[in-house]
Amino acid sequence: MEDKNPPRNTITFLGTGGARIVVANQILASGGLWLNLDDTEILIDPGPGCIVQSTKRKLKADRLSAIILSHRHLDHSGDINIMAEAMTQGGFKHRGWLFTPADALEGEPVIFSYLKNYLEGIEILQEGKSYSIGNISFTTPIRHIHPVETYGMLFRTHEHTFSYIADSRYFDGLCASYGGELVIINVVFLEPRPTIDHLSVPDAKRIITEIKPKAAILTHFGTPMWQAKPWKIAQRLSQETGVRVISARDGMRFDLSQLNES
Ligand SMILES: [Zn+2]
């Protein structure tokens, strides 16, 4: 058991699994990212098991200011309803914001409509727009190439700037859209698979080389990536790029103050 509310300026990885097989078998957890940024707590991409992963670490959903969904795929949104309900203490507290692409609310919505009455509000993510939550702000600089509407985020806190590059095919303009001292990259594939809209290790290397952050964290691993031991890949990428590359582990907590050291 880890301590209660996450310390200030930390990112807790409630899962590092991506793609269907890893998530369906829970080879790796899939609970998303829990941020505490200048005491504003935000949950990103609550995939299946988020409620279990967060409560077992004593993270309190009713302290969340917002939940951000990068896109509607199940491995990112599976627990969105229970987490939104938990953020509002089962609907007893009218609070919290949801940030989501429009298509997660349309057609076959992944968010139950009754939750809208519990929340303070819903904001629709759009390319190039900026948003603020509590003490921080973020932008969704560019729409990703992925089968559904998908955005990554560039966060700005008092002291730090960092990017979360959610699911996408690699494309020109991806690197130029993001930046900061830290880049978190969803690297599903070990090798490029040109027919599927996900990033691979060579794509991650290109992103790290172009952005040159102080640190990069790889996460959201598919089966071959996991079998190849992501920490070994991270070590190799560190040597090849000169950037500190870390492979996320389930439950890992990254303290943003580490970025001040170099
Ligand atoms: Zn996806």
Boundaries of every domain in the chain: 10-250
β-bridge partners, 247 = 218
β-bridge partners, 241 = none
pLDDT of residue 261: 78
Residue 96: pLDDT band with limits 50, 70, 90: very high
Residue 262: pLDDT band with limits 50, 70, 90: low
Please state the rounded mean pLDDT for residues 175-193. Answer: 97
Please state the rounded mean pLDDT for residues 141-161. Answer: 97
Distance 154 CA to ligand 1 centre (A): 18
Class of the domain covering 10-250: alpha beta
Distance 257 CA to ligand 1 centre (A): 30
Distance 163 CA to ligand 1 centre (A): 17
Distance 222 CA to ligand 1 centre (A): 12
Distance 192 CA to ligand 1 centre (A): 16
Number of CB atoms found within 10 A of residue 112's CB:
12
CB 99 within 8 A of CB 80: no
Tell me the pairing of strands 129-133 and 136-140.
antiparallel
pTM, 2 dp: 0.96
Please state the rounded mean pLDDT for residues 159-185. Answer: 97
Predicted confidence (pLDDT) per residue in 154-171, tens digit: 999 999 999 999 999 999
Distance 74 CA to ligand 1 centre (A): 8
Percent of residues, the chain, with pLDDT higher than 70: 98
Distance 260 CA to ligand 1 centre (A): 32
Distance 195 CA to ligand 1 centre (A): 14
What would the two tokens of residue 1 be? 């058991």
* Backbone dihedral angles phi then psi of residue 185, each to the nearest 5 degrees: -125, 130
pLDDT of residue 4: 56
Please state the rounded mean pLDDT for residues 143-164. Answer: 97
Distance 71 CA to ligand 1 centre (A): 7
pLDDT of residue 226: 97
Considering the chain, what is the average pLDDT of its residues? 96
Percent of residues, the chain, with pLDDT higher than 90: 94
